[in-house]
Structure formats: structure tokens, C-alpha cells
A and B are shown apart, each in its own frame.
Chain A
């Protein structure tokens, strides 16, 4: 067996939010081309782990390597595609589907240069992959929640990365859109991309998953074949599909003073 450098490696990764330990000495490695699902109930640290892997949250101890490079020295962000957890792809000003997807091309664009032919081709390809090419001129806020998730995936695709982090792409997405999502992820996997996917439940994504990492209370409790069924009590007691959009509030009690650091 050939030992290859893992695409993502977290060793002894711990994260504290507001002084409270949320992720506790987690060891996870993802091989190139692997699709790993990160599962667990709300508040188990799934999103926190992905945020620590992408540098959005600092580690209190431990280390993360992306594509063989320590995170602090990693600058090759065009190889990384990130789909953050958010309820909607809309913002305060209208934006078309094409514009949101095109913003994913930023990793490869030089300052003050217009989009080149390769950029436009990558954007078109990303829209085709998620099956939204026909909606490119529509405003994103006019799309359904599931379609907006597909727009966010297309945005990550547009940068042509080979390592993807997807934070709850299936949360609040109806069955038809989950199938469309599974198709898009299947295309990525066949192209050889590495995928780290945070999910509440796998649904139609199950056949694509090579390995599952199950977190509970900030620790890895399972690392191997995807479990057949999550403990229904844990999978469902927070209501169907909807994770709170404001995940800051998961771990830290509120402090009611205006200048307090969270």
C-alpha cells in the first residue's frame, strides 16, 4: 500500500469558542480523492471542525495540514473550495445566480482584471454541474432554498479546486434538490476531488460516502464505514433538517454588554 500525503490532516485539533472547549483533541485524516462525511448531532462540533480546517477558527492546540502544508503556511487557496453553512445565498442587494457563482472565481483572478475566457468557461461549467445553467440571469433570492444551496456549491466549483469543504449543504433542502446535490457531488468525486462533507443525515448522499467520521460532544466516536442509521434520538430531536442559521449561539452563553468580546 502506497502511503500518500493526506489532503487534509488534523492532529490533536482542539478549538474553544468563548473559552468553552468545543472540539477536543480530534485526529482526522482524509486521503486524496476520498469523500468523508462528518456526522453528529447539533453542537457536536462538526461545523467547528470544518472551520478549524479552513482557518476560520483558530486551534487552541494541535495542528492542521492542508495538501501537505501546515495551515499557517498554506496560501494555495485556489485549490480549496468552501461551501459555508448558510440559510440563503441572498444578501442586502440583488445579485444574479451568475454573479454569485462568478465570485467563486476570485481565487484565480488577478486584481483589476476582467474575466477571461477560461474564467467564463469555468463559471458555465460550474452552473451546468449543479443543473442551474437555465437560471443564470435570475436573482438568487428568487430561487428555492435547495437551489440556493446548489448556487453556493457552484460558486465553490467555479474556482476549480480539488479539495472541497461543504458545511451542511443538505440542511433544509427538499428531496428533489438533495438528489441534484448528490449528482453534482458524484461528478466531483469522479473527477478525483477530495470532499469533506458535514451533514446531519446522509439521505441520497449515502452511496457516495467512502468513510464517516462521527463526532459527539467534540470528540470522534466513530471513524469508518458510514453508520446505517444515526441514533434517531440524536438525528431528529432538533426538528426536521433545520440547523439554526446563527451557529455562534450554539456554544457560548450570551453576554449582555455592548463591548464584550464574545
Chain B
């Protein structure tokens, strides 16, 4: 494994580790607000920021942080003021950001390949300064997202309730927008601006296949995000002598593979929960009728779903609900 003794590889692994932790941490709150694509929108806006940096010769990271933050706050304002047409307004912003970025890069005489580093990530070209900045910003995101999780949870869960609880809703909304923007710029060098949202959303989608509580979802998503980013980078490094495997897409595809693996389990768990949900205890329904002759006795071993119904149990059998009544079964 001498590949891992290279300094550039160690820097890349550190960046992947911190990005993998931070992106799902803030992503969980975005998914909770049903704004899973906000990261993608900020990513598009950040392209203009990167191009501004390239055009003016300043650090693209800082201009991207500035423009992405501006874009995220603007998205938040549109969301707060907007109506059902908010998504159209967001789309206007997204494409404005992407087109502006590509145009500015051309004007600055930069080649498309320079912009490509930011669009699809170039984790192996990070300098020590880049890595330290990534670690610092990712730490801020994780500390805020986890430390303020009671407030952010209440806000994302029910904005009206949070407001009447005396929470400073607008300040926290802006905070979430800024944290999302910082995350996007942190992840930009790892997976690229066009794939950032995947690292914020896919681990959360994977985690919630199996979880029932918010806390476990948040922590599991952070673990899965770290596993995907470190694992994807490692895989691309190990395969590098055989084929050109770009780390960014490898990370995203690994995260998606995780989702593909857990989704059937989640499907089964949800199906089971639905089947076993108690039947409502309706008192004015039709009178129960005799279900007729029955080849076997229902019980815990019979394989038919046993569903609570008022004070007894119904067995779901070929679309019928059989309830024990003395020697026979009633149709419920």
C-alpha cells in the first residue's frame, strides 16, 4: 500500500473524511425540510463564485464561499416569501449561477479543464492549506449541526410551532442556509459542485431506510457519508493502475450503492409495518359473518399476519380478516 504513503493521498484522505462527516450532517436537516435539492442549487450558484475567483486571481474557495452564501440566503428569502412557485424561482437562480460561471471562466481566458476541477472535484490536487481550510470549515458545520440539533430539528419539523415557541426562526433559517453553502464549498474540491448534493442527501436517504428516530438517522448518515467518501477515494486509488477512476464519481456511486443495498430492506420493513398496523375499531360497521369452514387454526405459527383490532386479533388471510369466534372464524 505505498500509494497511501504519498503526501497528496494522505491529504486527500483527510479531506474526504471531514467532507464525508459534514455533508450529511447538514444534509439531514435539508432532507427533513423536504429541500433535498437545495445543496444542488447552491452548488450551481457557487460555480459563479469559482469563476469570479479564477477571473480576479483570488482564491476560488473564498469567492465560492461568498457567492454560495449569498445564493443560499437568497434561496432562503425566496422560500420564506414565496408561494408554491418557489421552486421555479430557485430554478432561475440555479441556471443563472451555472451559466454565469461558465461565461465568466471563458471571459477570464481560463480553460474549461480548470473549471472542471471544481465541477467534478480534484481531491488529489489539494494543498496543505486547502486541507486545513476544509478541516476547519467542516468542523464548524458539524459542531453547529450537532450542537444546535434540538433547535434545528424543531424548526425543520414545524416552522409555525418553532415560531410560537419563541425560536428566532429567521436567524436559524439563515444559519442553515449559510452552513449548507459552506458545506457545498468544502465538498467542492472532493466530489465537485455538480455532485455535492449527492453526499448531502444520499447517505440520509440510505440511513432512513432502517431508522425510526431522527438522532440515529443523523448519526448513521454521517457514518455512511464518511464510509462512502473514504471508501470511494480508496477504491479509486487502488484501481488507479488499471483504469482512470475519478474519485468524485466513485464516492457518489459508492454512496448510491449503499442506498441500493438498504432500499429493499426498508421496503420490506415499511411493508411489514403497514400490514401489522391495527385496524380501526369501527362500531357501526356491517355485522360480522361466519367465515365458513377453515382448513387450519390461525395462531402465531400459521404465517398469516396477526393484526390488532379493538380487543382481539384479526388474521389476514387471502384478503379476508378472520377473527376467532368460539369454534369458528368471523369475517371482520
Chain A residues with CB under 8 Å of chain B are 51, 54-56, 75, 77-78, 80, 82, 84, 86, 91-96, 98-100, 102-104, 106-107, 109, 111-112, 137-139, 142, 144, 155-156, 159, 165, 174-176, 248, 254-262
- The distance from the CB of B277 to the nearest CB of chain A, in whole angstroms, is 7
Please state if A82 and B154 are interface contacts (CB–CB under 8 Å). no
What B residues does A75 contact at CB under 8 A?
166
At the interface, yes or no: B61 with Cβ under 8 Å from chain A? no
Please state if B160 and A93 are interface contacts (CB–CB under 8 Å). no
At the interface, yes or no: B268 with Cβ under 8 Å from chain A? no
Partner of A91 from B88, B89, B156, B212 at Cβ < 8 Å: B156
Could you write out 22 A-B pairs with CB less than 8 Å apart? A54-B164, A75-B166, A78-B166, A84-B160, A92-B36, A92-B156, A94-B211, A98-B213, A99-B153, A99-B214, A102-B150, A103-B161, A106-B150, A106-B165, A106-B167, A107-B165, A111-B151, A144-B277, A176-B281, A255-B83, A256-B85, A259-B82
What A residues does B78 contact at CB under 8 A?
259
Task: Provide the main secondary structure of the chain B interface.
Answer: helix
Q: What total of A-B pairs shows CB separation below 8 Å?
A: 123
* 8 nearest A-B pairs in the assembled complex, by CB-CB distance: A77-B166, A82-B164, A96-B213, A258-B88, A139-B212, A103-B154, A93-B32, A95-B214
Query: Known contacts A92-B34, A93-B32, A106-B150: does B213 contact A99 (CB below 8 Å)?
Result: yes
Query: Known contacts A93-B204, A94-B213, A106-B154: does B161 contact A155 (CB below 8 Å)?
Result: yes
Q: Give Cα A219–Cα B27 distance, bound, in whole angstroms.
A: 45
Closest-by-CB residue of B relative to A255 is B83
Please state if A257 and B81 are interface contacts (CB–CB under 8 Å). no
Closest-by-CB residue of A relative to B214 is A95
At the interface, yes or no: B236 with Cβ under 8 Å from chain A? no
Total chain B interface residues with beta-carbon distance under 8 A: 47
Given contacts A78-B166, A94-B217, A156-B161, 9 further A-B contacts (CB under 8 A): A55-B164, A82-B160, A91-B34, A91-B156, A91-B157, A92-B34, A103-B158, A106-B165, A138-B212
What B residues does A106 contact at CB under 8 A?
150-151, 154, 162, 165, 167
1/0 per position for B83-101, CB-CB distance to A under 8 A? 1111011001000000000
Please state if A103 and B157 are interface contacts (CB–CB under 8 Å). yes
Q: Give Cα A223–Cα B151 distance, bound, in whole angstroms.
A: 39
- The distance from the CB of B90 to the nearest CB of chain A, in whole angstroms, is 9
What B residues does A100 contact at CB under 8 A?
157
At the interface, yes or no: B326 with Cβ under 8 Å from chain A? no
What B residues does A255 contact at CB under 8 A?
83
Please state if B85 and A257 are interface contacts (CB–CB under 8 Å). yes
What B residues does A259 contact at CB under 8 A?
78, 82, 85, 89
